[in-house]
């Protein structure tokens, strides 16, 4: 699904206003759901969530936190639903798993920490604890009440913010902003705050700022012409990261979030790249969804976070 254009426009536009009553119904339904008591795990639970539909950077934050916690000697296990996958779980992800079964994000997270996919997060938590976890990290799940959280971080894409600040279907929100922030200990704002999203947050909520930086793979592409393609929440973020890293992006292709690539699609992209004398490049999330036989012909560039104040983040983690 591509988000409708009015989600990024004025909250007083005609489509948003007409759909506002449905948004109020969604907000009320979500409020009742999140108020249910969840399983209280005997180990700390940290959640990287968001309030908007689509990608805000939750997985990138979860990857960063998993590495930080592991560096402290914690046995951190990551839990997620496995969006786009068919696995019901609880299932501990292995390198041999297919993204069609466990989802693309699960494969990335499993490379840095034991990772479980499952529709029932409480069941996944019990399985992870039985497997030795002494701290649990949720990639998404802020609106899921089945597992109680000790620390919740609200992840915000600085380029999109909260859109028109309306609740679905009138806008991109899963619930009202203040309703979500009431369950969070901090916000994580990724990239420049182009929509002044920080001004819509409670003054008492700490805001941790970070920016995306490309992985070391980008060094081999400096000065080269590339055809960049991505099926993530906001592909333009990836294209901008490449350009800022000194790569010459001569062509782009956008796909829907978590798009399942077919062989014929990639072959067409390869042909187009050859006609442009360009190297085909994609994200780490997209790379694991490529047909295995064609991965060797596509370059992958990952991203990580650079925090403005890493010590502030560490203090919040220390409380978990």
Beta strands in the chain (DSSP E): 45-49, 76-80, 91-92, 115-117, 135-139, 151-157, 186-190, 207-214, 225-230, 248-254, 279-282, 299-300, 303-307
Residues 197 and 180: their CA atoms lie apart, in Å, by 14
Domain ranges of the chain: 34-211+307-318, 216-301
| Contact criterion met (CB below 8 Å) for 93 and 110 | yes
Q: What was the pLDDT predicted at 16? A: 97
pLDDT at 54: 80
Sign of the C-alpha dihedral computed for residues 150, 24, 162 and 59 taken in this order: positive
**Any residues with CB less than 8 A from the CB of 264 and at least 6 apart, and which?**
none
How high is the mean pLDDT in each 10-residue block of the chain (320 residues)? 87 96 98 96 98 91 97 96 87 94 95 96 98 98 96 97 98 98 97 96 97 94 95 92 94 94 97 97 96 96 96 88
pTM: 0.94
> Rounded to whole angstroms, how far apart are CA atoms 52 and 207?
17
CATH class entry, domain 34-211+307-318: alpha beta
Per-residue confidence (pLDDT) for residue 1, from 0 to 100: 60
Query: Residues 6 or more apart from 198 whose CB is under 8 A from it?
Result: 187, 189, 207
Q: Are the CB atoms for 10 and 166 separated by under 8 Å?
A: no
């Amino acid at each position: 699904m591509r988000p409708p254009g009015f989600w990024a426009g004025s909250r007083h536009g005609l489509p948003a206003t007409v759909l506002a009553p449905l948004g109020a119904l969604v907000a009320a339904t979500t409020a009742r759901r999140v108020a249910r008591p969840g399983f209280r795990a005997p180990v700390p639970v940290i959640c990287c969530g968001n309030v908007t539909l689509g990608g805000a950077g939750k997985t990138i934050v979860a990857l960063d936190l998993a590495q930080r916690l592991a560096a402290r000697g914690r046995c951190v296990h990551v839990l997620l639903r496995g969006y786009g996958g068919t696995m019901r779980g609880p299932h501990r992800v292995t390198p041999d798993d297919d993204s069609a079964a466990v989802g693309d994000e699960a494969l990335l997270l499993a490379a840095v920490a034991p990772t479980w996919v499952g529709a029932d997060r409480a069941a996944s938590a019990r399985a992870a604890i039985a497997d030795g976890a002494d701290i649990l990290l949720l990639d998404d799940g802020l609106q899921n009440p089945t597992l109680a959280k000790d620390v919740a971080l609200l992840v915000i894409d600085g380029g999109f913010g909260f859109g028109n600040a309306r609740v679905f279907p009138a806008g991109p929100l899963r619930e009202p902003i203040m309703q979500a922030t009431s369950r969070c200990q901090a916000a994580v704002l990724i990239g420049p705050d182009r929509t002044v999203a920080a001004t819509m947050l409670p003054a008492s909520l700490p805001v941790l700022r970070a920016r995306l930086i490309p992985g070391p793979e980008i060094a081999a592409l400096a000065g080269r012409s590339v055809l960049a393609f991505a099926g993530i929440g906001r592909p333009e973020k990836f294209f901008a990261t490449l350009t800022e890293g000194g790569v010459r992006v001569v062509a782009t292709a956008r796909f829907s979030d978590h798009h399942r690539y077919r062989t014929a699609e990639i072959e067409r992209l390869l042909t187009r790249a050859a006609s442009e004398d360009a190297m085909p490049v994609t994200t780490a999330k997209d790379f694991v969804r490529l047909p295995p036989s064609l991965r060797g012909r596509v370059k992958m560039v990952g991203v990580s976070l650079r925090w403005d104040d890493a010590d502030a983040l560490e203090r919040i983690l220390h409380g978990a």
